[in-house]
Amino acid sequence: MSGSGRPRTSSFAEPPGIPGAVAAPAGSAAAVGSSTGKSGVPQASGSSSSGCSNLKLTRDSGKVTTVVATPGQGPDRPQEVSYSDIKVIGNGSFGVVYQARLIDTQEMVAIKKVLQDKRFKNRELQIMRKLDHCNIVRLRYFFYSSGEKKDEVYLNLVLDFVPETVYRVARHFNKAKSIIPVIYVKVYMYQLFRSLAYIHSQGVCHRDIKPQNLLVDPETVFKPRTPPEAIALCSRLLEYTPVSRLSPLEACAHAFFDELRQPNTRLPSGRDLPMLFNFSTTELSIQPQLNSILIPLHARSHASVHAEFSSRTGPFSAKLVSKCEPLT
């Protein structure tokens, strides 16, 4: 806001100057990690402008940055968003991920900054605006910014911040020479299969499932003997012939996860399990013959209410990295 004394960065909901760019409808296809294909870079519908900001995200705990961003959910109504405490927390071939704090709510967020290559079509934004699931990281806002080179445009995705990964959790237990309790393995695997079933139902394929891309709460803790049900499940998941392989929801219905469906099951800490049976109408329509197994008797009343609510509210936006509910 002018006159506030804060640094002001003007960013736009639409990248200018990209030949052949197509309008990105709210709700298109795809997966974790960006899907690319030849064509122009898609634009998100929203306000347009003649240029992008010269926003350069660097580590600066004192600076407050204000951008004009479009909400990831609902109508394309650009608004000012301010954040501070910026620092790099990850990078790769996809771009750079920053951690920041929203000024208005004081919530931590992750900002994924990706170069928009004019030679390829990046569907990542379309994908994330389409998905709505409790085990998929939510897209808060998005905005475009210019780079240091001429005509360099970056897409910035403001996402839920989940600080840990399954990879780091497993490495922690390995270094401590201890083993993750099976109940935690079940909870994480179940939520992964559930999120996969959902994205598959939306025509999306997760192209890069690995421990580093599975986000978990930092305070969660994960028997020496592997249960036979776990071995049976893995053997079905590793079937060479696709038609013989378990689908994600069939995996959720497997006997390995029966313990999670027991009404008295708790985490080792004594706390309740995260929400595992709040299936939406979309999820329940994927393989309806499994619904009687997926929703145990003690959870059916809540699930039916949730399903009815979901059918009335419609989809919101979310992100493309699988997320596990906090377990503490």
Q: Other C-beta atoms within 10 Å of 284: how many? A: 20
Sign, Cα dihedral of 243, 244, 245, 251:
positive
Residue 314 has pLDDT above 50, yes or no: no
CA pair distance 148, 152, nearest whole angstrom: 7
Check residue 210 and give left, alpha or beta (phi > 0: left; psi -120 to 50: alpha).
beta
Q: Which of 138, 79, 80, 145 is nearest to 116 (CA)?
A: 145
Catalytic position from the list 117, 208, 217, 272: 208
| CB-based contacts of 95, cutoff 8 Å, min separation 6 | 112, 113, 114, 115, 154
Residues in binding site for ATP: 113
Least confident among 47-56, 74-83, 198-207, 219-228: 47-56
Q: Is 305 exposed, middle or buried (0-12, 13-18, 19+ CB in 10 A)?
A: exposed
pLDDT in tens, 218-275: 544 433 356 788 878 887 887 767 888 899 999 999 999 999 999 999 988 888 998 9
Residues in binding site: 113
Higher pLDDT residue, 279 or 229?
279
In this prediction, residue 27 carries a pLDDT of 27
Beta bridge partners of 68: 80
Task: Show the 3-state SS of 106-118.
Answer: CCEEEEEEEECCC
In this prediction, residue 180 carries a pLDDT of 82
pLDDT in tens, 121-144: 778 898 999 998 988 989 999 999
In this prediction, residue 326 carries a pLDDT of 43
Beta bridge partners of 153: 146
Q: Which of 136, 17, 8, 16 is nearest to 72 (CA)?
A: 136
3-state helix, strand, coil in the chain (%, to 5): 30, 25, 50
In this prediction, residue 79 carries a pLDDT of 92
CA pair distance 232, 236, nearest whole angstrom: 6
Q: Other C-beta atoms within 10 Å of 89: how many? A: 13
pLDDT in tens, 9-63: 333 333 333 322 222 222 222 223 333 333 333 333 333 333 455 455 555 556 8
| Most confident option among 98-107, 112-121, 164-173 | 98-107
CA pair distance 249, 247, nearest whole angstrom: 6
In this prediction, residue 1 carries a pLDDT of 39
Q: Which of 145, 95, 119 is nearest to 36 (CA)?
A: 119
Please provide the average confidence, as pLDDT, over all residues in the chain: 74
228 vs 185, 222, 234, 324, CA distance in Å? 14, 19, 10, 24
Q: List domains and CATH numbers for the chain.
A: 23-160 (3.30.200.20), 164-313 (1.10.510.10)
| Most confident option among 115-124, 182-191, 235-244 | 182-191
Q: Is 208 a catalytic residue?
A: yes
Contact 127, 31 (CB under 8 A): yes
